[in-house]
Structure 1
Amino acid sequence: MTDLIIIHNNDITPPQQYLLQVTRKDTPEPETSLCYDDVVRKNSVQVLLSSERFKQGEIHLYRNQEEAVRAGPSVSWVPGLDFVHAFHVCKPHPELQHWINRCRGRLWPPDRLLEAARVSPRLLVPTGHQDSDYNLEEWRLSPNLIERMLMFSFNITHIKCYIVLNLIKQSFF
């Protein structure tokens, strides 16, 4: 695969959803031909890496294994395990920096955790927003590593509050 350009357009993609434009192998210019099975053409110009076709390619690649189970961005052949292929994002994202700036100066999360979140790996996973016109092409920015750091920093009061809020959410929504 060649390099990909992350495209976020507030008019067509929801928050934390991105389109991945394919670039040419020989130059950093956008690709103009449908050179791979998992790319699609949108707006008659852009060649995008399709998250749906990417997952279909994984299913095809491992077709001799057990029946694949799909759940969100994961494709799994092993009961009880989820496998998510993702792309590592090299550049910092403004959304993450905005969240860090909003949290600074408070008791929780502590500054050391915010700094760890700032440098933690950011991943794009193959799943689109269900209400989007581009849901088969979209990739979501996954904050799962940051969420893990936050969860492990909870004290007993945080954990109890989290459990109660989840019970309320499950009961009413």
Structure 2
Amino acid sequence: MTQHQKVLFNQLESYRHDLLAVVEGLSNQQANIIPQGFHNNIRWNLGHVYLDQFLWIETLTKERTAVPEHFAQWFGFGTSPKDFTEETPSFEELKHLLKTQPSFIKNTYQSRLDEVFEPVEMGMRTIEDVLVRTIFHEGMHVQAIMDLRKFITDNRP
């Protein structure tokens, strides 16, 4: 693995740690609140981040990943917590999945980062390209979660 690939995996793990730190101390109830003016809750954002990373890898490689069944129905683009069912992973389950995802991706794809595929959106051709994009996407959702958290904790009854 090259130095820049080591840096990429370090970023993947570090930013995921930061995401999980933002939700530390929140209750399941808080994670499920959809404040007025928001479309989703913290729980949805966590599931979406998890799904997005694997979906982009699947889109590029045309190979199945570790995405659990029904995740796209609950956490895909355009979905909302209104789509949740009793089977939708809990806040705690999502935190666990997110915690283990970076090492799973590293162990599964580290030897394939430079493998070239047919280009997808924005000309992404490698798994490395996809990971750069998904890290950026995760950062956007970290900000959304921070906004939700601030609203929820500042507006307690």
What TM-score do the two structures reach when normalised by structure 2?
0.23
What TM-score do the two structures reach when normalised by structure 1?
0.22
